[in-house]
Amino acid sequence: MSTDAIVVLKEDHKNVKRLFKEFQAAEDGPAEAKAEIVKQILAELTVHTYLENEVMYPEVRRLVPDLEEDILESYEEHHVADVLCMELFTMTPDDERFDAKVNVLIESVTHHIDEEEHEWFPKVRTALGRNQLQELGARMQQLRPDAPTKPVEPKALHKALEAMRA
Ligand SMILES: [Fe+2]
Ligand SMILES: [Fe+2]
């Protein structure tokens, strides 16, 4: 199987988007089914974001300085998704804000995926050689089994919350 970094990440995107569709189809159905789909969404997103944050983003930033702005914006979009995932992790479908929050997560991640796939992945493919992309993808696949699967409080938010609790 190819370990091309862009192929690997697009495969993750496909899985996440399939789960988004499943949630939308299940929205008016039983709570347990919705909770299960959201659990899977949070796990997929947590792993995927981790691999991009640990390998893809820092390496692209280093190797393709022209994409600095896109990378910084993407980090911020990850941060927004992290906060939503962390909140959803503590919620159940009977919460009146549950569906709304899942739908905001879906909208914002779908936008983020579109930007990655259409705006800067093609530039990365042009700038990096085939071998470099294979090597980056292999590193992500190596890291995957050890990636966190549950949302964790983003560091900055953790600090702010600690300060409030003190
Ligand atoms: Fe991303
Ligand atoms: Fe991505």
Burial 47-83 (b: 16+ CB within 10 A, else e): bbbbbbbebbbebbbeebeebeebbeebeebbeebbb
- Rounded to the nearest whole angstrom, what is the distance from the C-alpha of residue 75 to the centroid of ligand 1? 7
Cα(104) to centroid(ligand 1), Å? 16
Say whether pTM exceeds 0.75. Answer: yes
Ligand 2 centroid to 92 CA: how many Å?
A: 26
Q: Tell me, in angstroms, the distance from the centre of ligand 2 to residue 84's CA.
A: 16
Q: What is the CATH number of the domain that holds 146?
A: 1.20.120.520
Count of structural domains, the chain:
1
Structural domain boundaries, residue 154: 5-165
Centre of ligand 1 to C-alpha 116, Å, is 7
Q: What is the distance between the alpha carbons of residues 130 and 45, in angstroms, rounded to a whole number?
A: 26
Spell out the per-residue pLDDT of the chain, length 166, in tens: 689 999 999 999 999 999 999 999 999 999 999 999 999 999 999 999 999 999 999 999 999 999 999 999 999 999 999 999 999 999 999 999 999 999 999 999 999 999 999 999 999 999 998 999 999 999 999 999 999 999 976 666 667 778 888 8
- Residue 66 C-alpha to ligand 1 middle, in angstroms? 18
Say how far apart CA 92 and CA 82 lie, in whole Å.
17
Answer whether 120's CB lies under 8 Å from 63's CB: no
